[in-house]
């Protein structure tokens, strides 16, 4: 006799217990601490903060631990937590001109005021597995130098001074907030940048790469890439002035892109812009390329039909939490829908069969 | 700031606003039905029903227009303290509050656009009384027909012609509330 | 953080106000998809976040809630969502359709007719009925604004030309009150006639940020053609447990030889019929008698 499956609740509880055990791993191996993740898996922490849209290394590290290292799952935990937080106010726009840079490079000039600062980069490491790390990860102290004083000049401003690059007009209009208002198309640049900075690194990278390979090519150079700390300030109405509420690490990338001019404008360089939480330069460069590709209309370029030029396509598919949820939901039971398709296919087949028999008889 | 300003809010906001919302939803989903709605009170001439509606639906993101005798300092302060909604002109309002006389002509309020008919105003019409004797209502939410003591019919008939655009109306009196969404056809009796 | 650290029904009050305003607009404009700023929920997008947000915005402490997935109360995701509301709203829950004041569903409408005192909340994956004909929101929005639904009729007609039937078995499009073409969520088309009901029907699509509604007794017509009228089809069998001939059935494979049985997808309805003495082909007593 058939008995309908019962006990979903018990099954879920058991699955959760098993999951917790798997997360912990063998008991004879010391447990990973959140501090260890925060200080030694920093680039994973940075990615979780960037795509989770929440600057909190401790929570990001906790999420990574809870998610067993699955970064999209960790991002999801952060997003779900973030959405419950009250919004107390808005900071002033951060001043990346005043960034205390750990890294700052330009591909468009051999040298520039402020200098090229490599910083802690993988760029020139030879990707050889370091077997010493398996035994002992202790390292000698790296050389240091006195930090430069004052603002770090912006490379693209040198071009701007000569009118060689298009000027971005400042605006005091409050941008729409994609976390508080439904997405609407055309979205415009502020919303595009919001969606890209929290978009999936792999997706944004793939889109950027597609422009380099010719799907909406726009000839980018990294005008400047800088990584470092900026202070976050907030206006306190009761005080009548802004106070510093903290410091965050950001990666900023400005690309300089070729431009042939249009009917109305003489030839000039244009920009793409990327700004991402933490040390996340692959993402910031990708973001700048995609931002630039999406600006085709505003800059009077042709729509080449490239995926990276398609605002609705890029923005509706960049979010990995939306994507993974919908993708994985097909694991849920769909047997009611499947049954109705089954009946329909049977009906169409039997009708077709009846027709064939009828034709044969005639 | 008067005493009136600080009092009259929800004492148990999550539960009270939930019950109030259910009254608002039932009223709108069953045009002609008169629901009881309580939980908040504001300075006169604001009814309990209107005060509770504002507190349930409005916040800093919903500009409110105050019409006629409802545009008082006391009500403005009460809204500023409990709701934080900006006070707006008729053409920029998402909600409007007043007597029918003060709110007419209702054609000045946003009716939405063909693409976004939801970007329209909701009127909260304060009434001396509410009853199920009056104009005949037909349309979604009503099995055959219903009756409601509407302040007039022509304005609502014209509003219906704009469908799916148009304004939606709540009628409030004491602790009672009824609604007339834009989709409803109205006939005078 | 304990459950108590979260607000009643999980969502903060400002979020609930935003959702409630969207629900009211949906009711005022039957079948129109109201954009809303859907929040990230502690369950994945695609797993009922829209329905959960709509339910959370509607629940009062006095409610009794029922959650079904595929018509059943004990499918894992239904269990998980029911648990969520027990923990965060402290509401009573039930498996009895009749006792519930709020029913959240995925893919089915209960067999028993709902009453004026009930609210049916649907989880919706893709709210746009025109999405698979035109993927762009900018375009479909214009089509709805202009009532330009020709593309949909062409698609249905092409089905008939190719298969002799309209090849849509679930999420079968409807027209609400003669105006908006609406996706009724992926319910089997068997359920479409039930969309005209006494209860308030609310549809929540979290990932796609849309809420829409059907007020009670609204006119809901499944799209069809005069010569190919809509047909609410089901498996041509009675339920093997309760004998019902008028319910939507699940087909269950019961042995390696491909033996199968048909049982009501609505588990509460089937259970109640059995409790009232109705029997089907494979009910224990019937099997014993054979």
Distance CA B185, CA B159 (A): 9
Residues A75 and A102 in one domain: no
3-state secondary structure of C160: helix
Give domain status of residue A105, yes or no. Answer: yes
| Burial of C164 (C-beta count, 10 Å sphere; 0-12/13-18/19+) | middle
Q: What percent of chain A has pLDDT over 70?
A: 97
Smallest CA-to-CA distance from C72 within B128, A148, A270, A339 is with: A339
Cβ neighbours of residue B124 closer than 8 Å, sequence gap 6 or more: B50, B53, B54, B95, B96, B97, B98, B169, B170, B172
Residues A313 and A223 in one domain: yes
Q: Give the domain extent around A76.
A: 13-82
Query: What pLDDT shows up at residue B3?
Result: 54
C135-146 burial string, b = 16+ CB within 10 Å, else e? ebbebbbebbee
Residues A179 and A265 in one domain: yes
Query: What pLDDT shows up at residue A278?
Result: 97
Distance CA C90, CA C48 (A): 19
Distance CA A272, CA A292 (A): 4
Residues A303 and A186 in one domain: yes
Query: What pLDDT shows up at residue C287?
Result: 61
Best of A339, A342, A351, A358 to mutate (most C CBs within 10 Å, chain C): A339
Residues A112 and A17 in one domain: no
Q: What is the mean pLDDT of each run of 10 residues along chain C (290 residues)?
A: 68 95 98 96 93 97 97 92 94 97 98 97 97 93 96 90 88 97 97 98 97 98 92 90 95 89 96 95 72
- Among C26, C48, C51, C239, the one annotated catalytic: C239
When comparing pLDDT for A318 and A299, which is higher? Answer: A318
Question: Total structural domains in chain C?
Answer: 2
Residues A47 and A164 in one domain: no
- Predicted TM-score of the model (pTM): 0.92
Residues C114 and C201 in one domain: yes
Is the pLDDT reported for residue A24 higher than 60? yes
Is the pLDDT reported for residue A32 higher than 80? yes
CA angle (A241, A247, A248) in 5-degree steps? 130
3-state secondary structure of A321: helix
Neighbours of chain C (3+ CB pairs under 8 A): A, B
C4-54 pLDDT, tens digit per residue, is 567 899 999 999 999 999 999 999 999 999 999 999 999 999 999 999 999
- CB B100: neighbour CB atoms within 10 A? 19
Distance CA C91, CA C81 (A): 12
- Enter the tokens of residue C151: 């593309």
C58 is catalytic: no
Give domain status of residue C70, yes or no. Answer: yes
Distance CA C225, CA A29 (A): 68
Q: What CATH number should be reported for the domain holding residue C113?
A: 3.40.50.11310
Give domain status of residue A340, yes or no. Answer: no
Query: What pLDDT shows up at residue A4?
Result: 45
- Residue spans of the domains in chain B: they are 3-187
Query: What pLDDT shows up at residue C183?
Result: 98
Best of C164, C169, C208 to mutate (most A CBs within 10 Å, chain A): C169
ipTM over 0.90: yes
- Enter the tokens of residue C117: 């005192």
C271 is catalytic: no
Query: What pLDDT shows up at residue A2?
Result: 43
Is the pLDDT reported for residue A174 higher than 90? no
Inter-chain CB proximity A325 and C46 less than 8 Å:
yes
Is the pLDDT reported for residue A288 higher than 90? yes
Tell me how far CA of residue A310 lies from CA of A192, C68, C271, in angstroms: 11, 39, 52
| A-C C-beta contacts closer than 8 Å | 149
Best of C8, C24, C64, C142 to mutate (most B CBs within 10 Å, chain B): C24
Residue A287 in contact with residue A253, Cβ under 8 Å? yes
Question: Total structural domains in chain A?
Answer: 2
3-state secondary structure of B106: helix
Inter-chain CB proximity C218 and B140 less than 8 Å:
yes
Inter-chain CB proximity C27 and B181 less than 8 Å:
yes
Architecture, CATH, for domain B3-187: 3-Layer(aba) Sandwich (3.40)
Smallest CA-to-CA distance from B138 within B113, B124, B156, B120 is with: B156
Smallest CA-to-CA distance from B168 within B45, B31, B66, B35 is with: B31
Distance CA C18, CA C29 (A): 17
Interface of C with A in 101-120 (CB under 8 A): 106-108
- Among C26, C31, C48, C51, the one annotated catalytic: C31
In the structure, what pLDDT confidence band is assigned to residue A172 with cuts at 50, 70 and 90? Answer: confident
Hey, is the C-beta of A351 within 8 angstroms of any chain C C-beta? Answer: yes
- DSSP letter string, B140-165: TT-SS-EEE--S-SHHHHHHHHTTTS
- Among C50, C51, C58, C270, the one annotated catalytic: C270
Mean pLDDT for the stretch of residues A151-170:
86
B121-154 pLDDT, tens digit per residue, is 999 999 999 999 999 999 999 999 999 999 999 9
Query: What pLDDT shows up at residue C165?
Result: 84
Helix H, strand E, coil C: the string for A177-204 is CCCCCCCCCCCCHHHHHHHHHCCCHHHH
Instruction: Flag residues of chain B having pLDDT under 70.
Output: 1-3
Q: Give the domain extent around C272.
A: 249-289
């Amino acid at each position: 006799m058939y008995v309908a499956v019962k006990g979903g609740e018990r099954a879920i509880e058991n699955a959760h217990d098993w999951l917790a055990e798997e997360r912990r791993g063998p008991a004879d191996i010391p447990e990973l601490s959140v501090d260890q993740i925060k200080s030694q898996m920093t680039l994973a922490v940075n990615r979780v903060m960037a795509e989770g849209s929440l600057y909190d290394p401790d929570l990001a590290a906790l999420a990574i631990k809870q998610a067993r290292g699955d970064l999209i799952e960790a991002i999801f935990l952060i997003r779900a937590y973030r959405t419950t937080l009250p919004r107390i106010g808005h900071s002033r726009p951060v001043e990346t001109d005043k960034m205390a840079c750990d890294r700052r490079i330009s591909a468009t000039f051999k040298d520039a005021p402020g200098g090229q600062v490599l910083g802690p980069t993988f760029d020139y490491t030879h990707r050889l597995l370091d077997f010493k790390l398996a035994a002992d990860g202790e390292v000698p102290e790296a050389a240091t130098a006195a930090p430069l004083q004052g603002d770090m000049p912006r490379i693209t401003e040198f071009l701007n001074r000569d009118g060689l690059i298009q000027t971005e007009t400042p605006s005091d209009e409050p941008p729409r907030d994609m976390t508080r208002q439904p997405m609407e198309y055309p979205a415009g640049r502020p919303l595009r940048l919001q969606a890209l900075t929290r978009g999936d690194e792999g997706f944004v990278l793939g889109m950027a790469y597609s422009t380099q390979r010719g799907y909406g090519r726009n000839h980018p150079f990294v005008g400047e890439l800088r990584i470092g700390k900026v202070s976050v300030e907030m206006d306190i109405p009761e005080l009548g002035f802004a106070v510093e509420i903290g410091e965050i690490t950001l990666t900023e990338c400005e690309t300089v892109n070729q431009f042939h001019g249009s009917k109305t404008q003489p030839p000039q360089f244009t920009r793409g812009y990327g700004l991402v939480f933490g040390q996340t330069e692959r993402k910031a460069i990708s973001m700048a390329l995609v931002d630039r590709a999406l600006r085709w209309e505003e800059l009077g370029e042709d729509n080449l039909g490239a995926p990276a030029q398609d605002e609705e396509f890029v923005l509706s598919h960049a979010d990995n939490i939306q994507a993974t949820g919908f993708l994985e939901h097909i694991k849920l039971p769909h047997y009611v829908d499947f049954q109705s398709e089954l009946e329909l296919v049977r009906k169409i087949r039997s009708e077709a069969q009846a027709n064939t028999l009828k034709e044969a008889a005639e | 700031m008067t005493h009136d300003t600080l009092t009259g809010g929800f004492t148990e906001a999550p539960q009270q606003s939930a019950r109030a919302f259910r009254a608002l939803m039932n009223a709108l989903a069953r045009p002609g039905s008169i629901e009881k709605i309580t939980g908040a009170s504001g300075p006169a001439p604001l009814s309990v029903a209107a005060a509770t509606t504002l507190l349930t639906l409005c916040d800093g993101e919903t500009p409110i227009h105050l019409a006629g005798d409802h545009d008082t300092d006391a009500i403005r302060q009460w809204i500023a303290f409990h709701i934080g909604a900006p006070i707006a002109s008729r053409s920029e309002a998402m909600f409007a509050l007043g007597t029918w006389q003060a709110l007419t002509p209702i054609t000045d309020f946003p009716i939405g656009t063909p693409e976004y008919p939801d970007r329209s105003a909701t009127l909260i019409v304060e009434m001396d009384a509410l009853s199920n004797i009056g104009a005949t209502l037909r349309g979604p939410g009503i099995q055959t027909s219903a009756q409601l003591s509407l302040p007039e019919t022509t304005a609502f008939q014209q509003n219906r012609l704009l469908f799916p655009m148009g304004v939606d109306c709540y009628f409030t009196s004491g602790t009672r509330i009824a609604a007339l969404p834009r989709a409803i056809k109205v006939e005078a009796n | 953080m304990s459950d108590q650290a979260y607000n009643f029904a999980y969502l903060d009050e400002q979020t609930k106000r935003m959702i409630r305003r969207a629900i009211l607009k949906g009711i005022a404009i039957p079948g129109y998809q109201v954009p809303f700023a859907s929040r990230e929920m502690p369950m994945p997008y695609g797993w009922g976040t829209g329905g959960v947000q709509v339910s959370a915005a509607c629940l009062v402490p006095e409610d009794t809630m029922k959650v079904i997935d595929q018509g059943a109360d004990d499918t894992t995701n239904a269990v998980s969502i029911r648990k969520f509301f027990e923990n965060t709203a402290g509401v009573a829950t039930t498996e009895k359709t009749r006792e519930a004041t709020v029913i959240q569903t995925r893919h089915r409408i209960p067999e028993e007719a709902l009453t004026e005192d009930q609210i049916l909340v649907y989880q919706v994956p893709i709210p746009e009925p025109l999405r698979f004909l035109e993927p762009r929101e900018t375009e479909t929005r214009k089509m709805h604004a202009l009532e330009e639904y020709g593309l949909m009729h062409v698609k249905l007609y092409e089905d008939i030309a190719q298969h002799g039937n309209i090849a849509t078995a679930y999420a079968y499009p409807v027209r609400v009150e003669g105006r908006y073409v609406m996706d009724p969520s992926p319910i089997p088309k068997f359920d479409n006639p039930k969309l005209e009901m006494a209860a308030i029907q609310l549809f929540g699509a979290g990932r796609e940020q849309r809420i829409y509604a059907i007020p009670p007794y609204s006119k809901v017509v499944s799209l069809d053609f005069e010569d190919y009228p809509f047909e609410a089809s089901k498996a041509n069998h009675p339920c093997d447990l309760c004998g019902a001939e008028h319910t939507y059935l699940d087909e269950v494979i019961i042995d390696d030889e491909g033996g199968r049985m048909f049982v009501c997808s609505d588990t509460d309805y089937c259970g109640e019929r059995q409790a009232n003495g109705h029997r089907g082909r494979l009910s224990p007593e019937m099997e014993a008698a054979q």
